[in-house]
Amino acid sequence: MRTDHDKARELIALGESISDAEGAWLRTHLHECDACRDYGDGVNRMIRALRTVPLAADARLVRATQMRVRFHARRLREARERMWLVGTICFAVGLSATVSAPVLWRLFAWLGEQAGVSPVIWQAAFVCFGIAPVLVVSVFFLARGTHLAGGSDRSQPWK
């Protein structure tokens, strides 16, 4: 069974990441409980002591970290470039569809009249003609495995 002392020690261990209500409860408890107050003071002294110890990273660790940061920065830059390309292509496709759809509609209507086909048939053909490119591209991406993936396995830059 968890006591108030256990709760106070857990909150002390969390440090500044506790809510305002928990902080208020902890302050009240520490005001009333000498043992928990001493525990909190000891934890604070230990944290201050640890913050005064200088840390020096090994040169290999620094190089490896720099390499990983550069690798991920390059991947983010490539992803941004691909997304710019995708956005530009989407705009171009939307613009061309807006311009060509009325022309194609008239063409399908004219072909339907010339062939003596009912309007429902040529209208269905128009819709299929509009959907076909999307289906082809979707099958291409499914066959490729990933959407806009780079060509090589870049999940491990250190290999």
Could you read off the pLDDT of 87-111 as tens digits, one per residue? Answer: 898 899 889 888 988 999 999 999 9
Q: Would you say residue 31 has pLDDT above 50?
A: yes
How far apart are the C-alpha atoms of 153 and 30, rounded to whole Å? 55
> What pLDDT score was predicted for residue 159?
40
> What pLDDT score was predicted for residue 1?
76
> What pLDDT score was predicted for residue 158?
43
Distance of CA 2 to the CA centre of its chain: 39
> What pLDDT score was predicted for residue 120?
94
CA dist 16 → 19, 39, 103, 124, 135 (Å):
8, 16, 66, 64, 54
- Report phi then psi at 28, rounded to 5: -65, -45
Residue 103 and residue 130 in contact, taking contact as beta carbons nearer than 8 Å: no
